[in-house]
Amino acid sequence: MPPSSDASRIGQPLARYAASRRVGDLIYFSGVIAVDPGSGQVIERFDQLPAAVRGPLGETGELSVDVFQAPALAQSWFVLDRIRQLAEAEGGSMADVFKLVQYFTDLRDYPLYNRVRRMFYPDEPPVSTVVEVSGMLPSRAVRIEVEATAFIARRG
């Protein structure tokens, strides 16, 4: 079955593939990267995120600190929040997303990502695979990609 119209709009693939696919009560989400679908820009700065999440993510306002941590923290939050939105569009929540496959261009970003992931999974973490890759599309600025699997019972 094709993804719901909400999930399609949220996912907005950058090429010819489905953002998500339902198979019974399982939903498979394609890899999500931190690219603003409206502008096509890669998320790399705190000021590209909602103001309410910048402080909890660790924004200090000090350029010499933020410039180093912002790309990994901002991309981590953007990607996980996009997965949350996709799950909600399918009638579920982040708690229904039970498996993540996480790709990094530099595994040194993993501790920052893991800190952000705790915001989305404060209690029980998901089943998880972590892989380092040499690069991702559409540009070298993309540092993190996450694909997800959720169990969300069909509506009505």
Q: Does 131 reside within a domain?
A: yes
Q: Does 119 reside within a domain?
A: yes
* Identity of the amino acid at 73: L
**Across residues 17-28, what is the average pLDDT?**
91
d(CA 37, CA 42): 9
Confidence category of residue 3, pLDDT binned at 50, 70, 90:
very low
Which tokens in the block code for residue 123? 């209690």
Q: Does 127 reside within a domain?
A: yes
Q: Does 132 reside within a domain?
A: yes
CATH code of residue 66: 3.30.1330.40
| 57-105 per-position pLDDT tens digit | 999 999 888 999 999 999 999 999 999 999 999 999 999 999 999 999 9
Q: Does 156 reside within a domain?
A: no
d(CA 81, CA 120): 8
pTM, entire model: 0.88
Which tokens in the block code for residue 54? 């910048």
Name the E strands within the chain.
20-23, 26-33, 97-104, 127-132, 144-151
pLDDT at residue 22 greater than cutoff 70: yes
Range of the domain at 136: 5-151
Please give the tally of structural domains in the chain.
1
pLDDT of residue 5: 43
| 105-143 per-position pLDDT tens digit | 999 999 999 999 999 999 999 999 999 999 998 899 999
